[in-house]
Structure 1
Amino acid sequence: MKKLLYIVSSAVLLISCESRTYDEISVHTPITQQVKFTADIKPIIDANCISCHSANGPGSFQPLTNYNQVKNNIDKIIDRIQRPNGDPGKMPQGGSLSATQINLFIKWKADGLVEN
C-alpha cells in the first residue's frame, strides 16, 4: 500500500509540474542596450555550451570557446537554440535557453557581433 501511494504521489507531482520558467512565459521588454560578447553572450555559452563544445567534449568538432568561434557560428547557434523541444538538433541538448537568452543572441547579431 505504501509503495502504491508513493507511485501515485510521484505521478501526480510529475504530471502537474510546469516546465516553462517565468522568463519564458512573461511578456518581454525589448533589449535596448547594445549586446556584447564578453558581458552578455560568453556567460551564456560558458553556462550552457562549453561542457560539450570544448576540446574534450562530445561537441569538440564545433568548439565555442572564444569570440571568433562563436561569431563564426552565430547563424547555426541561433538556429539550434530556437528549435522546438524534441527536435534532434535542439541545443543545448537536454535543455533550453530562456527566451531572454535567445533574444540576446539575436540582438548581438543585429548589433554587429560586438566583442567588448
Structure 2
Amino acid sequence: MNIRPGAIRILVLLAGLAVLAACSDNGTEPQLDDSGGGGEPTVSFAADVQPIFDANCIGCHGAVGGNGGLSLAAGSSYDNLVGVPAQGYSGDRVVPGDPDASVLYRKLTGAQGVGGPMPPTGTLPPATVDPVRIWITEGALEN
C-alpha cells in the first residue's frame, strides 16, 4: 500500500479535530450540591447553627422578646425562626429550602432590603454564615 505524506497529515488533522470536538465544553456550569449527597443533611441545627447564634447573636437576641422580638437562645431559636414572619420586613425569618428568601440569611449576609446587617458590627465571615445557608438549603430541619 502506497500512502502519500499529504494524506497522513490530513488523517492526523482530522483525528485531532475529532479529539477536540469530543472534549469541548457544552457551556454549562457545574452545579454545587449542598445536600451532601444521599439526601442526608450535612448540617445540624443543634451542632452547627445554634453555636453561631450563641457566639454572635444572643447578646441582643438572647432573651424572650429580644431585639426585633427575636430570641435566638438555645431551646427557643428554632421555633422563633422557621416559618415565622419577620417583624418589620416582608417574608419569613427562615424559608426552608430557600436561603435567599429567608430574612435571617439576608441579614447575616448584609443583603439589600432588610435593613442593616446582623450583627450590627458588620457581616460575619462567609465561613461562619455558610452553615446557616446550607442548613436552610437542606430544609431547615430541627436536628
Q: TM-score, normalised by structure 2?
A: 0.50
Of residues 53, 56, 80 in structure 2, which corresponds to 1:48?
56
Give the distance between the partners of 1:58 and 1:39, measured in 2 at CA: 22
For residues 52-81 of structure 1, what are the alpha-carbon distances to aligned partners after superposition, in whole Å with 9 as ceiling and x for unaligned? 012278616222222211334221110111
The count of corresponding residues between Structure 1 and Structure 2 is 86
1:98 to 119, 125, 130: 125
Q: Could you list the runs of 5+ residues in structure 1 that have no partner in the other structure?
A: 1-29
Structure 1 residues 1-116: aligned runs within 5 Å? 32=36, 34-55=42-63, 59=67, 61-65=69-73, 66-71=77-82, 72=84, 73-74=93-94, 75-83=102-110, 89-116=116-143
Distance 1:107 1:113 in 2: 8
Contact 2:64 2:71 in 1 (8 A): no
Paired with 2:121 and 2:141, the residues of 1 have a C-alpha distance of: 29
**Identity of matched residues, %:** 31
Find the structure with the greater CA-based Rg. Answer: 2
Cα pair 1:51 1:57 within 8 Å, conserved: no
Q: CA-atom RMSD, angstroms?
A: 2.8
Stretches of structure 2 lacking an aligned partner (at least 5 in a row): 1-32, 85-92, 95-101
The two structures have a TM-score, normalised by structure 1, of: 0.60
Higher helix share: 1
> Using CA pairs below 8 Å that are at least 6 residues apart, which structure has the higher relative contact order?
1
**Cα distance between partner residues in 1 of 2:48 and 2:63:** 23
Q: Structure 1 60/88 Cα, relative in aligned 2: closer, same or farther at 3 Å? A: closer
SS in 2 for 1:102: helix
Q: What code does the residue aligned with 1:107 have?
A: I
